[in-house]
Structure 1
Amino acid sequence: MAIADFIHLKVRSAYSLTEGANKVDAVVALAKGQAMPAVAVTDRNNLFGALEFAQYAAKAGIQPIMGCDLGLRREEEGGIASASKLPSVDWLTLLVQNEQGYLNLMRLVSRAHLEFKTGSMSALPLSELEGHSDGLLAFTGSTGSGVGRLLLAGQAPAAAHMLERLQTLFDGRLYVELQRHGEDGERRIEAPLLDLAYARNLPLVATNDVHFPKASMYEAHDVLLCIEQGAHIE
């Protein structure tokens, strides 16, 4: 069987609770079924499924790529906000390169939950990544990332500044991420992201934000989102 020329680098498992509807074993089975030699699981602010993922992947002959979508808070918002005023959260995708990277990622996730949690939301200041980014690859993210959200808000200089900070933290390990799910926000930021990437000589990566395995599971996933948001299905 020919090896696939694309692998998923942004998959949420059921350990993302109300966001992911992919069972870990199903993620591995789907990757194998599509001839992908590797696949990444990047749950939101947790590594709960890492061991299970590694075990299933090893049995299937698939390279497991450990990762996480780490929540970041804007440092101008100050320290931990009150529960009545939750900080806005920017998402940064981190993938593990080696043992040091895994140790750093575990530390960052733990600090987010233990020292920077407000209500149900955990988010680190970007400065907390200083000295703890070795062995990690970073994707700038799409519309939910700091760079993407600043571009959508018309704050191109601030987006460029954030990208510069990320490039310093992840020297030679930062990728400008592009996504095409048909959303208006993605179309609006694609050209500015490309301009920033070319200006700073940064590589590009194309990803899909995988929350469920098949189109037929859309409604089930919609229920999960409604539970999270306290909304009703119309």
Structure 2
Amino acid sequence: MSQNFVHLRVRSEYSLIDSIVRLKDLTSRVASDSMPSVALTDFNNLFGLVKFYKLARSSGLKPIMGADVLIKYSNSKKPTNMTLLIKNEIGYRNLTKLISDAYLSKHTNAVPVIDFSWLKTLNTGLIALSGGREGEIGRLLSVNKDEEAKEILKINQDLFDDRFYLEIQRTGRTGEESFIQKALNLSDKFDCPLVATNDVRFISQKEFEAHEARVCIHDSRLLNDPRRERQYSEEQYLRSASEMIDLFKDIPEAIDNTLEIAKRCNLQISLGDNYLPDYPIPDGLSADDFLTKQAIKGLEQKYHALNSMNIKHHHLNKDTVLTYKDRLNYELKVVIKMGFSGYF
């Protein structure tokens, strides 16, 4: 049995809808508990990635980056949860592309959703966790559509190969144990590895009420509203490694796999470097040459436009034209010297 554990599903303050985890508190607590690594999986965004990366590294932790996303399958009416973890730079680029496309294709005021078909070309470098009860497999199992759940499992295994994991949780929410038993059966039958998460939304158990207040603010509901759906439990705190190991002592492989996944995630971020757009340039020209050519062409077009308007205050004499050309040449030299031609 493993003597350690890695949290692979943690939302932070950058998930405005339902988390109060501060990144500094997260990395500090994980380091103090001697866990080797921790993942940041905010909802539909990577806003906290750089800050988290810096804090984790400075705390002696291996940072794992990813996101909780909504996936829409072709035969499903509603999207369901999946967690995507970044293995390497290719995975990072693919996840940013997936999230960007989800935002660009969403309807007004709708939640961004990733179409499962997009993953066919953008799954490289990513590890997928099934989403537990809130994933598509969990949803189907909860309504006794076991055969359909098997089909979803199979298409994910075909797509991700050994990078797809059945996610299980024990946070005291309805239906968890029933789902775990079915997940165990699927794991055995389809040789699909299990992984344990705690779906973390706050650092300590005593912060549950503050978290509920955060959720109510987002949903415009009152804490004591009897009609309010209780989606979270006070067990969704950052449990210690020993607590998680004890919680899943009957399924030790689900703990072991958190460490295996952590080993597979090795994204290195280069900080402080500028990455300018790779603008398409005609053959035979450098970025500097092309910028200069386009700038001069644009200035000449301005001359003709102003002269054709025949506006008194914009009449261009030779001295004015020379002044504009000198200014343009000066600004071009500055841009070229800074190496920013591709940006402009």
Structure-1 separation of matches of 2:154 and 2:28: 38
Q: Tell me the CA shift for residue 35 of structure 1.
A: 0.6
Matches within 5 A, 1:43-54: 43-54=42-53
Structure-2 separation of matches of 1:99 and 1:120: 29
Query: Larger deviation: 177-186 or 115-124?
Result: 115-124
Give the structure 2 partner of residue 168 of structure 1: 158
Question: What secondary structure, in the 3-state scheme, does the structure 2 residue paired with 1:202 have?
Answer: coil
Matches within 5 A, 1:1-234: 5-76=4-75, 88-117=78-107, 119-234=109-224
Structure-2 separation of matches of 1:132 and 1:74: 15
Q: Tell me the CA shift for residue 226 of structure 1.
A: 1.2
Structure-2 separation of matches of 1:99 and 1:31: 25
Identity %: 37
Question: What secondary structure, in the 3-state scheme, does the structure 1 residue paired with 2:14 have?
Answer: helix
Structure-2 separation of matches of 1:143 and 1:190: 9
Structure-1 separation of matches of 2:23 and 2:214: 17
Which letter does structure 2 place at the counterpart of 1:19? D
Q: TM-score, normalised by structure 2?
A: 0.62
Q: Tell me the CA shift for residue 136 of structure 1.
A: 0.8
Structure-2 separation of matches of 1:117 and 1:90: 17
1:15-70 CA-to-partner distances (Å, cap 9, x unmatched) read 01121110111111111011111000111111110011101111111100001111
1:161-220 CA-to-partner distances (Å, cap 9, x unmatched) read 111111111111111111111222111211111111111111111111100001111111
1:91-124 CA-to-partner distances (Å, cap 9, x unmatched) read 1011111111111111111111111345230111
Structure-2 separation of matches of 1:7 and 1:168: 26
Structure-2 separation of matches of 1:177 and 1:101: 20
Which letter does structure 1 place at the counterpart of 2:214? L
Structure-2 separation of matches of 1:220 and 1:196: 37
Q: Is the 8 A contact 1:4 1:37 kept in 2?
A: no
Which letter does structure 2 place at the counterpart of 1:211? R
Which letter does structure 1 place at the counterpart of 2:183? L
- Compare the two structures and name the one with the higher strand fraction: 1
Give the structure 2 partner of residue 84 of structure 1: none
Q: TM-score, normalised by structure 1?
A: 0.91
Question: What secondary structure, in the 3-state scheme, does the structure 2 residue paired with 1:172 have?
Answer: helix
Structure-1 separation of matches of 2:190 and 2:207: 40
Q: Is the 8 A contact 1:45 1:122 kept in 2?
A: yes
Question: What secondary structure, in the 3-state scheme, does the structure 2 residue paired with 1:232 have?
Answer: coil
Higher-Rg member (1/2): 2
- RMSD of equivalent CA atoms: 1.5
Structure-2 separation of matches of 1:129 and 1:139: 14
Question: What secondary structure, in the 3-state scheme, does the structure 1 residue paired with 2:134 have?
Answer: coil
- Compare the two structures and name the one with the higher helix fraction: 2
Query: Larger deviation: 112-121 or 125-134?
Result: 112-121
Q: Is the 8 A contact 1:4 1:34 kept in 2?
A: no
Which letter does structure 2 place at the counterpart of 1:25? K
Gaps of 5+ in 1: 78-86
Question: What secondary structure, in the 3-state scheme, does the structure 2 residue paired with 1:187 have?
Answer: helix
Question: What secondary structure, in the 3-state scheme, does the structure 1 residue paired with 2:223 have?
Answer: coil
Structure-2 separation of matches of 1:165 and 1:116: 25
Structure-2 separation of matches of 1:58 and 1:97: 17
Question: What secondary structure, in the 3-state scheme, does the structure 2 residue paired with 1:15 have?
Answer: coil
